[in-house]
Amino acid sequence: MLVLLAGIFLLHLASIILLLVATIDNAWWVTDTMSTDVWARWILNNGIWNHTDLPTGSTYPSDYLQAVQASAILACIFSILGLFVFVGQLFTLAKGQRFTFSGIFQLLACLCIMIAASIYTNIFHNDESSGQYGHCFILAWISFAFTFISSIIYFVLRKKTRD
Amino acid sequence: MLTILALASIVLLGIVPQQSEAIVIYTGWERHALVGSDIRLSCSFFSWRWTSEDVTFSWSYRPDGARDSISIFHYTGGAPYVDNKGPFRDRLEFVGNPARRDGSILLKNLDYGDNGTFTCDAKNPPDIVGRASSVRLLVFEKVPIQAGVITGAIIGAVLGLLVLIVVIYYLMRFLVARRVFNLSVSKHGRKGKGKEGSQQRQLWRPPPVTLLPLTS
Q: Give contacts of B150 with chain A, Cβ < 8 Å.
A: 62-63, 66-67, 70
pTM attached to this predicted model: 0.57
For residue A69, give the chain B residue with the closest CA: B151
For residue A119, the model assigns a pLDDT of 92
For residue A106, the model assigns a pLDDT of 94
Q: Where are the domains of chain A?
A: 2-156
- Smallest Cβ–Cβ distance between B150 and the set A66, A73, A74 belongs to A66
User: Is A78 exposed, middle or buried, given 0-12, 13-18 or 19+ CB atoms closer than 10 A?
Assistant: buried
Using the Cβ of A80 and the Cβ atoms of chain B, whether some distance falls under 8 Å is answered with no
User: Which pLDDT band, with edges at 50, 70 and 90, does B206 fall under?
Assistant: low
Using the Cβ of A66 and the Cβ atoms of chain B, whether some distance falls under 8 Å is answered with yes
User: Which pLDDT band, with edges at 50, 70 and 90, does B161 fall under?
Assistant: very high
For residue B201, the model assigns a pLDDT of 52
Q: Give contacts of A70 with chain B, Cβ < 8 Å.
A: 150-155, 158
Phi, psi dihedrals of residue A61, rounded to the nearest 5°: -65, 125
Using the Cβ of A69 and the Cβ atoms of chain B, whether some distance falls under 8 Å is answered with yes
How far apart are the C-alpha atoms of B167 and B173, rounded to whole Å? 10
For residue B143, the model assigns a pLDDT of 66
User: Which pLDDT band, with edges at 50, 70 and 90, does B99 fall under?
Assistant: confident
One-letter identity of residue A62 = S
Using the Cβ of B151 and the Cβ atoms of chain A, whether some distance falls under 8 Å is answered with yes
Q: Radius of gyration over alpha carbons of chain B, in Å? A: 34
| C-alpha distance from residue B9 to each of B12, B20, B127 (Å) | 5, 17, 22
pLDDT tens digit at each of 163 positions of chain A: 789 889 999 999 999 999 999 999 988 988 888 888 888 888 888 888 888 888 877 778 888 888 999 999 999 999 999 999 999 988 888 888 888 889 999 999 999 999 999 999 998 888 777 888 889 999 999 999 999 999 999 998 887 765 4
For residue B7, the model assigns a pLDDT of 82
Q: Give contacts of A71 with chain B, Cβ < 8 Å.
A: 154
Q: Which fold has domain A2-156?
A: Butyryl-CoA Dehydrogenase, subunit A; domain 3 (1.20.140)
Whether the pLDDT of residue B145 is over 70: the answer is: no
- Whether A50 contacts A43, CB under 8 Å: yes
Q: How far is A81 from chain B (nearest CA, A)?
A: 11
